[in-house]
Amino acid sequence: MMLERLGIYGWKDADENLVLASLLTGDPLLLIGNHGCAKTHVANKVAQALGRKFLVYDASKAMFEDVLGYPNVEKLKHGVVEYVPSPVTIWDKEIVLIDELNRAVPELQSKWLEIIRSRRIMGFPTQVKWVWAAMNPMSYSATNALDNALIGRFALFLYPPDVLQMEERDRIRIATHINGDDAPSLSEWTGGVSAGTVAKADVADVGVKMRETLVLAGGHFLRLREQMRTLAEFLAKFADLLMRETKSEVALDGRRLGFIHRNLLANRAIELAKAEVFQSGVPGFVPSARYVVQSSIPVGLNDESLKREEAVHKMEICFDLLSSYFEEGAELSRVNMVYELFTTPDPMRKAELLLTQPLGEMALSKAWTDLMAGEKDLTLLAYTALQVEARRPGTVPRELMASLSAKITPGELSTRCISRLEGDAVEYIDEVEQLLDQDTDLARLVAYHRVSELVDTGNINPRTIKAIGDAIREDIRVFEALLAGESAECLGGKAA
């Protein structure tokens, strides 16, 4: 690991890759962790290795005049706005770390926003190419909630490990490590011998390897962007599933989807480049992509109701449901059907997918569990599933039989489930009653379900009545095909 050679111990390869991915794209990185977990140290050593002008700003106490500089009074006399630079102004810096970000008061948070978003200050461009920030968890005293707009400008969120989360080997190395800020007076009594445990030559060598990796990764990024055309489709579906799974508590916006897309490409590009530079293996794409997605979505930074651990678990579920997108030679039609299974409001289509398609144990198990735990009426789906099970035993999981039977609501088997027609809809009562006039229990159940949906919309007219009639006939056809054990392909190619 390159970070290890810089004196950054205990970090996972996956986190080093994300650090390099942030360097590759220039999208901002936020480090969240307890004090002493090398947040500032990693930024400083990376800047040293790359030979870039670097400065740390303490957002808890930096006045914006420190960052901006003071106006040049002489130039103002001529109507020219210019700021007098100093060693601490931002204009000539290339990498900056905004430390203690959540200790900045809200007014100063908004001022940092422009730098993080566009590398500008008061509209003027700077030389800044990389913006990182660091913060402690909200459990620390004197911290302030981050503005959602500010959080939304960061592409990646890394959680450096505490020393007690590391292996003993790394704890030993940390205990004996001396960086540039440690033991500042020791060299006074050692004849000028540097006390640091990372030699300048090692830092320079890491810089060479880091630049080589990033140049190679740039080429891989462009190639992957052309090859991975379905990645955006995956993210579109993933965002929808995650919103549903978290009951809208995690709703990804367009900027976030763009960040995740670039992060996935950049991370894979870094993995491929490191394999070339260090003659090492390439990690499996699915687990690394899962970690990238988790690290690209901000949750729990302000102690919201949805905690990070719970959110990460839900992200993993949604990712794994769609992860076949990343399998070599994958059939995307199957992934699309998994997505449809969890998003379609049509109970017959859901039954068709559940009872005929090999969508994988995880998808089927979760779909059944969600259905049993939900509050929506499942009479039509449960009736269909039980009828199919009666003819083809083993289609429905045995442990769900009693629960499915309990989901059949007797009231849904009669006209009592249908609201009264009111207003202009009354003139169509004969046409609606004709829809309900069916010969079999199944046909009547389907008709009651579809007509109830129509009446609830309040949009009753000849066109919608005809559409419901067509839907009833299609549902009956699907039901009969399911009883015969036919696949979705045999049902007329309804699969996406």
| pTM of the predicted protein model | 0.85
Nearest alpha carbon to residue 45 among 206, 278, 267: 206
Residues 7 and 143 in one domain: yes
Residue 433 has pLDDT above 90, yes or no: no
254 and 133 together in one domain: yes
329, part of any domain: no
In this predicted structure, the answer to whether residue 58 has a pLDDT above a threshold of 80 is yes
CATH number of the domain within which 173 lies: 3.40.50.300
Residue 427: DSSP 8-state: G
Q: Are β-strands 120-121 and 156-158 bridged in parallel, bridged antiparallel, or unpaired?
A: unpaired
**Structure confidence at residue 216 (pLDDT):** 98
**Looking at the domain assignment, is residue 7 inside a domain?**
yes
Q: How much is the average pLDDT of 402-425?
A: 65
Residue 61 banded pLDDT, cuts 50, 70, 90: confident
pLDDT of residue 494: 43
pLDDT for 24 equals 98
Residue 308 pLDDT more than 50?
A: yes
Answer yes or no: is pLDDT of 415 > 60: no
Res 315 pLDDT > 60: yes
* 309 and 349 together in one domain: no
How would residue 133 be classed by pLDDT, with cut points 50, 70 and 90? very high
- Same domain? For 461 and 370 the reply is yes
Query: What sections of 34-105 are H helices per DSSP?
Result: 39-50, 64-68, 73-76
pLDDT category, 495, cuts 50, 70, 90?
Answer: very low
- What residues does 100 pair with on adjacent strands? none
Out of 267, 294, 314, pick the residue that ends a domain. Answer: 314
Report yes or no on 131 lying in a domain. Answer: yes
Same domain, 374 and 251: no
The pLDDT of residue 418 is 58
Single residue among 272, 293, 314 that ends a domain in this structure: 314
Of 197, 316, 161, 293, residue with least CA distance to 246: 316
pLDDT at 178 over 90: no
How many C-beta atoms surround the C-beta of residue 375 within 10 A? 5
pLDDT of residue 416: 55
How many structural domains is the chain composed of? 2
Residue 495 CA to residue 473 CA, distance in Å, equals 18
pLDDT in tens, 11-45: 999 999 999 999 999 999 999 999 888 899 999 99
Q: Are 465 and 477 in contact (CB under 8 A)?
A: no
User: What is the structure's pLDDT at 81?
Assistant: 81
Q: Is residue 323 part of a domain?
A: no
How is residue 302 annotated by DSSP?
T
Tell me, what's the pLDDT at 292? Answer: 97
d(CA 487, CA 10): 51
Q: Which residues pair with 56 in a beta bridge?
A: 97
3-state secondary structure 112-134: HHHHHHHCEECCEECCCCEEEEE
**One domain, residues 45 and 148:** yes
- For the ranges 77-86, 168-177, 236-245, 321-330, the one whose mean pLDDT is highest: 236-245
Tell me whether strands 124-125 and 120-121 are parallel, antiparallel or unpaired.
antiparallel
pLDDT band at 199; cut points 50, 70, 90: confident
Cβ atoms of 31 and 132 closer than 8 Å:
yes
Element (H, E) at 193: none
The pLDDT-based confidence of 108 (bands split at 50, 70, 90) is confident
Tell whether the model's pLDDT for residue 474 goes beyond 50.
Answer: yes
Token couple for 296: 């690209």
In this structure, is residue 337 part of a structural domain?
Answer: no
Whether residue 354 is found in the same domain as residue 462: yes
| Interstrand relation of 95-99 and 54-58 (parallel, antiparallel or unpaired) | parallel
Of 294, 314, 334, the position where a domain reaches its end is: 314
| DSSP letters for 321-370 | HHGGGGSTT--HHHHHHHHHHHH---HHHHHHHHHH----HHHHHHHHHH
Helix axes of 308-322 and 285-295: crossing angle, nearest 10 degrees: 140
* pLDDT band at residue 50 under the 50/70/90 scheme: very high
Task: Please write the tens of the pLDDT for every residue from 325-378.
Answer: 887 766 678 889 999 999 998 888 888 898 888 888 899 889 988 888 887 777
In contact, 198 and 242? CB cutoff 8 Å: no
Residues 298 and 350 in one domain: no
* Structure confidence by residue, pLDDT tens digits, 151-165: 999 999 999 999 999
Question: What was the pLDDT predicted at 29?
Answer: 97
User: What is the tens place of the pLDDT at every residue in 374-399?
Assistant: 877 777 788 788 888 888 888 888 88
- Please tell me what DSSP assigns to residue 92: T
Q: Are residues 113 and 204 in the same domain?
A: yes
Nearest to 320 by CA among 355, 361, 283: 361
Q: pLDDT at position 194, please?
A: 64
Give CA 33 to chain center in angstroms.
20
> In this model, does residue 413 exceed pLDDT 80?
no
Residue 339 lies in a domain: no
Same domain, 382 and 473: yes
Report whether pLDDT(488) > 50: no
Position 258 scores a pLDDT of 97
- ∠ Cα 125 131 133 (to 5°): 135
Q: What is the mean pLDDT of the chain?
A: 86
Are residues 247 and 113 part of one domain? yes
Name the residue with higher pLDDT: 414 or 358.
Answer: 358
% the chain with pLDDT above 90: 45
- Provide the β-strand partners of residue 174: none
Q: Which two tokens stand for residue 71?
A: 């106006």
- pLDDT value of position 402: 82
pLDDT of residue 269: 98
Instruction: Quote the domain boundaries for residue 409.
Output: 345-491
Is 284 among the domain residues? yes
> Is residue 340 situated within a structural domain?
no
Question: In this predicted structure, what is the pLDDT of residue 366?
Answer: 92
pLDDT for residue 496? 34
Write out the DSSP string of 212-259: HHHHHHHHHHHHHHHH-TTHHHHHHHHHHHHHHHTTTSS---HHHHHH
pLDDT at 117 over 60: yes
Q: Is the pLDDT of residue 489 over 70?
A: no
Single-letter amino acid code for the residue at 257 = L
Do 302 and 362 fall within a single domain? no
